[in-house]
Amino acid sequence: MARRYDPERRQRIIDAAIRVVGRKGIAGLSHRSAAAEADVPLGSTTYHFATLDDLLVAALRQAEDGFAKVIAARGGLTDPRSDLATELAAWMREWLAGDRTGVELEYELYLAALRRPALRPVAAEWADDVAALLSRRTDRLTARALVALMDGICLQVLLTGAPYDEDYAREVLARVIPPGPSPRPWSPPPGPPRSDA
């Protein structure tokens, strides 16, 4: 019997892997558990994802794409008339007030890069992409600092179970953002003086 054409199978496996991680954590994910969740033969998972790291990379990339879309959807983040600290603090409130399981899942995949080197380039891309978006409003160095600060605030809320304090977030974000109406482009420090001799 000919195999049924199933162009969506790869995506179903990724979605299934994300659901498995959401329920059981990274340790609960295997080719077998993903195949069972997606209701596909085990060989399908190994055909599309030769290693478990390949499957985790695809899952992390999908989670990060959703995160980036949420940020990009907030028009105030790119509107020069809006207060950047206020916009970022409000964005974190919306994100953390949503499906907490989804937020925890994204961070679990993100932090899995600590022990899985294959995930590190994807995690770095996420930080770079968000910093690039924020660089439309401030210099690159400040944008990177804001990404690190938002990461820290979100992780504290998730790990401690404490309620998100939007006023606190807005104040500390504002302390990082330099005053002034226009971004100052960041460039690396100059090297040693050149000799014209």
Domains with residue ranges and CATH for the chain: 8-50 (1.10.10.60), 59-176 (1.10.357.10)
Note whether 47 and 37 are within 8 A (CB). no
Measured CA to CA, the distance from residue 123 to residue 118 in angstroms comes to 10
Give, for all 197 residues of the chain, the pLDDT tens digit: 345 557 789 999 999 999 998 888 888 999 999 999 999 999 999 999 999 999 999 988 887 776 667 777 766 777 888 899 999 999 889 888 866 677 788 888 888 888 889 889 988 888 888 898 889 889 999 999 999 999 999 999 988 988 999 999 999 999 999 986 544 444 444 555 544 44
Angle at 120 between CA 152 and CA 49, to 5 degrees: 130
pLDDT attached to residue 129: 85
pLDDT attached to residue 181: 52
pLDDT attached to residue 195: 46
Which positions ≥6 away from 88 have C-beta within 8 Å? Answer: 77, 146, 150, 169, 170, 173
Measured CA to CA, the distance from residue 162 to residue 122 in angstroms comes to 29
CA dihedral over 118, 120, 126, 132, signed as positive or negative? negative
Could you write out the DSSP letters of every residue in 98-153? S-HHHHHHHHHHHHGGGT-GGGHHHHHHHHHHHHHHHTTTS-HHHHHHHHHHHHHH
Token output for 93: 């409130």
Query: What single letter denotes the amino acid at residue 128?
Result: D
pLDDT attached to residue 179: 83
